[in-house]
Every structure is written in structure tokens, then in C-alpha cells.
């Protein structure tokens, strides 16, 4: 199972997720989320496969999210506008973002990783 692991090396949650993947010998392709964020189309596909609402893809605790005042703006935005915004700046995306092309996890919760990524 080829996993794509979008991460930000300075992120503590990403480091915990990476450690979990390594400890459980799950192979992955690591992509720097800030330098190479997924495209709008890739994000749309991930969103559809995740079963999550699009708001869950936003890094709501991030500086950029607060600077842009997105807490008050997201409700009035279309999904297309949200996807455009996410694709424009990797810092807006909740991390890590992990997928095998069929399943998707956003953020790191150990029980969820065990369920989705344990081989």
C-alpha cells in the first residue's frame, strides 16, 4: 500500500504521525506540505474520499487561518472557493494529510491511524 504523507517537518503532530508510521513499518512517500501543497483537484479528490466536511481540512489553529479571518468567512464560501484557498497555501491545510488513494486521514489521532494504516 503506497501512502502519500503530506507533512511539515517543524510540526510536532506531523513528527508524532511519522514516528507512528515508522514504528509500524508503514512505507510512505513524504511530501513537504508547505513547499508542495496538493492541487485544488487533488484536494477535491481527497475531500470526496475522506467523508469529512471540508472545514476539517483547514488548520484552524494556524496563524494564516487567523490572519485571514477564516473563522467568520468559511460559512459563506462555496466548496470551490475553499478548495482554491487550501491549494493556494499549504499552511492552511490541517496536517499531516495522509492518503493511499482510497482512504484519507487529516491530522493525527493514533486510533484512526491504527484503523486506516496498520497493515
Who's near 88: CB < 8 A, 6+ residues apart?
Answer: none
pTM: 0.93
In the chain, where are the structural domains located? 3-117
At 77-117, the pLDDT tens digits run 999 999 999 999 999 999 999 999 999 999 999 999 999 99
The percent of residues above 90 in pLDDT, for the chain, comes to 97
Q: Which residue in the block uniquely carries the three cell numbers 483547514?
A: 58
Pick from 56, 44, 36, 65: which is nearest to 105 by CA? 56
How many Å apart are CA 69 and CA 17, to the nearest integer?
Answer: 28
How many Å apart are CA 100 and CA 75, to the nearest integer?
Answer: 29
At 14-72, the pLDDT tens digits run 999 999 999 999 999 999 999 999 999 999 999 999 999 999 999 999 999 999 999 99
- Is the separation of the CB atoms in 107 and 94 below 8 Å? yes
CATH architecture of 3-117: 3-Layer(aba) Sandwich (3.40)
Alpha helices (H) along 1-119:
12-23, 40-50, 63-67, 70-73, 79-88, 110-117
Sheet strand arrangement including 28-32: 28-32, 3-7, 97-99, 104-106
Amino acid at each position: 500500500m503506497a501512502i502519500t504523507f503530506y507533512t511539515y517537518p517543524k510540526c510536532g503532530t506531523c513528527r508524532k504521525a511519522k514516528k507512528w508510521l515508522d514504528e509500524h513499518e508503514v512505507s510512505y512517500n513524504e511530501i513537504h506540505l508547505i513547499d508542495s501543497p496538493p492541487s485544488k483537484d487533488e484536494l477535491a479528490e481527497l475531500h470526496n474520499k475522506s467523508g469529512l466536511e471540508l472545514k476539517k481540512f483547514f488548520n484552524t489553529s494556524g496563524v494564516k487561518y487567523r490572519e485571514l479571518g477564516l473563522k467568520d468567512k468559511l460559512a459563506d464560501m462555496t466548496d470551490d472557493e475553499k478548495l482554491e484557498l487550501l491549494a493556494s497555501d499549504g499552511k492552511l491545510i490541517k496536517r499531516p494529510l495522509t492518503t493511499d488513494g482510497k482512504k484519507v486521514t487529516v491530522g493525527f489521532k493514533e486510533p484512526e491511524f491504527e484503523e486506516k494504516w496498520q497493515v
